[in-house]
Each structure stands twice: as C-alpha cells, then as structure tokens.
Amino acid sequence: MTDLLGFIRKYPLDAFSHLIILLPIVTGFIHYTLLQKGPKIFIFYFLTVFIKESVGLYTALHGTANLYLQNSQSVIDIGLIGLAFYSSLYNSKLKSNLLYTLVACLLVSLASFKIDVISPINQIAGKLFCIITALFFFTDTLRGLRIVNLTIYPAFWLGSGTLLYGAGTFLITLFGQVLVSSSTSEDTFEFFWNTQQIIYCMFCVFATVGFWVSCYEKQQAAE
C-alpha cells in the first residue's frame, strides 16, 4: 500500500490516466443496451486495457520487467478496435479493406513482438492501424450520408478519439526506442511519456461522450 501511494505521489498523471479508463467502461455498461455492436466492443477494449495497465502497475511496484505489456498494447488496439469498426462499417468494400489491413498489421505486430525491449515496429503497426481504421470509418460515414446528427452518433466520437489517439501518438511511438534508451534525459522522457498519457486520457473522454450520447441517438430514432 505504501508503494502504491508513493507511486501516485511521484507519478500522478500515470495514476490518473490509469483510473480514467474506468470512465468509458462504467459509462459504456450503463448505456450498454442502447449501443450497437461496434461501440459495445469498445467497452471490452477499454476493459482489456485497464486490466493490462493494472498488471503493469502491479509488476512495476514489485520491480518486475513489464515491457512486454507495452508491446501488447498494439495487439489489443489492432484486434479489438479493428473488430469494433469492422462491425460499424456498412460499405462491403471498405469492410474487406479493413479486414485485410487488420490481418496485415496484426501479423506485423506479432512478428515484431518482443518480451524484454520496446519494439518500434510493433508499436508503429498499432498506431498506424488506428489512423487507417478511423479514416475508413469516416469515409464510410460521409459516403453513406446516413447520419443526420453526428454529435449524437456514438461511433463518431469513438472514431474521432481513435484518430486522435493514433495520429497524436504516432511520432512519439516512432521514436519510442530512443526515448527509453539510457542516453535520453529523464526530463525528455517524461515530457513525451506524459504527452502520450494526456492524449490517451482525451481518447477516454471522447469514448465516454460517445457512450453517453447513445441515449440521445435512441430518442432521435424514435421520433
């Protein structure tokens, strides 16, 4: 318990970014029956990430190496975010393209997966996939013109959050191995690490709003 409190005092942003993942999880389950299949999968995505972060915190407090957990984020992103958006797309060609992209990125991520060091290729595959997937979603949404009000469409907020997450952390991920090297100063590492944490917090907020507006989407559909 003392170690945990010490961690929170030393790394408050890390602790906050861990806890804020609960926000979309709780909001998602509250509105679960109002959500379509794609957004529902996102709830389990955030639940998986929260469990991964919890294991990471436990191993960090006990001095156990956990870089493999950092690399596993890419696999989680590709698998669950990809499945969520695959379920949300209407255009059959875009769905096929997304499926091919998912398989290709997942194979690259798994092939480059490392246990004891940060794998740049693994990380880049995950972030690049998030960007491409979000663009597929927006292309499908704008081409179909099925949505009257995007602001009350859950998948719009999830797509926006995914694009922000992927694009916002892509360059940081690109130089991830450099940032964790011994030649990088602690201040430089903390700046980029904290930036990445803040962007993920924003992703959680976007997802929470997306789950929350599902009730308004249901009301509009009933009118």
Read off the pLDDT of residues 8-24 as tens digits, 9 standing for 90 and up. Answer: 777 788 889 999 999 99
Q: How many CB atoms lie within 10 A of CB 112?
A: 16
Maximum separation of any 2 CA atoms in the chain, in Å: 61
Mean pLDDT across 86-93: 92
pLDDT at site 144: 65
Give the tokens for residue 201.
Answer: 């917090």
Burial 131-141 (b: 16+ CB within 10 A, else e): bbbbbbbbebb
Contact between 160 and 206 (Cβ < 8 Å): yes
Rounded Cα gap, residues 63 and 50, in angstroms: 20
CATH code that applies to domain 2-222: 1.20.1070
Question: How high does pLDDT run on average in the chain?
Answer: 88
3-state secondary structure of 21: coil
Using alpha carbons, select from 123, 128, 106, 125 the residue that is nearest to residue 180: 123
Confidence band for 222, pLDDT divided at 50, 70 and 90: very low
- Map out the domains of the chain as residue ranges: 2-222
Read off the pLDDT of residues 44-58 as tens digits, 9 standing for 90 and up. Answer: 999 999 999 999 888
Contact between 211 and 27 (Cβ < 8 Å): yes
